[in-house]
Structure 1
């Protein structure tokens, strides 16, 4: 089975530069049947699994993590179907050999179709979420591709614009160990484009593009892959340097989009050295730590406080 179904010249031109949609065949693989996903949830190490819920707005402050207890994969899928839950099986490809083989094929095809594309680190996870689940407004610190497998999903994608998220706000993500959420302001919405994904569709966008997701009344299964390139490392370290200097010394650097050549290279080197030396600044997270609910297939929304 080929993974990529229709990688055209236009797709090739847009990839990593603009919002890109394409078709794939992952949804036809038995590795992603509901029975296979139930088994995967059951055998995947719980230390590499996130179970979260949110209120009807899906806001970043409403998200909280929970304890799945000793529920079976079938019971957890039942809770997802009736509740407002989001499951992320992290490091999927590093733990399960059959999925690793599929990832290798996916990225071999991507490199064949895109000369000069050389990712240096590839990770990913399986996302299983409820019919009413929502993912808050955020950005990823690595290049990300969303491969939709089951259900219907609406993805809202926003441009790099100060009314959407400022450099200072995006730096917060890079300065934090794990939080990737951004402040969602009403003035961002006129800039949004939305895309309704069906099984067999993939969407990706340029690095650090803000986005959010709403499920459309069905159980959703998607594969999220992320990869790093030398260009992404350079940008992330340059923004890390800007973030530390802005917060420690009150320096107001020029917008990162206007920084090029030696200027950006110098910031990249300084940021890399700061990270290696452990130089950072404290940043806040909108979430409280620890488990704040238990998954319960028989409870309203699949959770119990």
Structure 2
């Protein structure tokens, strides 16, 4: 009588067999990314390369421009228009700080105190987006008119005297002054600050506030030790979303300012459309991009990259 050996028992330490997905299924994520990659390539990367080549060209509109790798254009543009760069960073930074001071209390109110009015308040925050950026800025030109009620009230309370001492107005009017430009920037970009702040605050568990109260923390201590640290991702995102577009804006300085309040965006617009000096305009664009990139990088390193998560 013969006996057959039993098959060996499987080794529990052996690795389980690997079941590879079909190639088509593995390529699905890349196919989904393809439209976005093409969009960025055609509408961002290629124009950026074209602008880079334009910045090192020489010539004129009549003779034509050709690439001669003329890098001194960057130095000439920086030395001639450096006050506009300083003004752009200063105005954008001031508007960003004002947006944070104005937007944080409103975002806090919507996130924790609004109750059933939360949806309505959020709609009111984004309602300005339903109107053209240009129309909104023109509206501020009417609001801040010299004969308008706003200027009369500011004159009555002595606010313009203070802003004159700070160099923001001339002491008698608001239009065509740095204050008007900063006011327009603050208004136009305030929703970009409020929405990230609200999103960050809304994610905070209310039980953390209750726990802080149970530990005898005052409301001020709770805000300083609990609420504000947990809302830092919204603060970082909101400041970036406000500062970056504000630094390149030219509509507010064009409509609410004067020749003494022009930002670098106004110079770029003028070089492209009026002077027709395309290499200088392209060089100014890249210099502005580099300055903003350096400021943003330093800010993120100071704030901590984890705050963006």
TM-score by length of 2: 0.22
TM-score by length of 1: 0.22
As a proportion of its length, which structure holds more strand? 1
Q: Which protein shows a greater Rg?
A: 2
As a proportion of its length, which structure holds more helix? 2
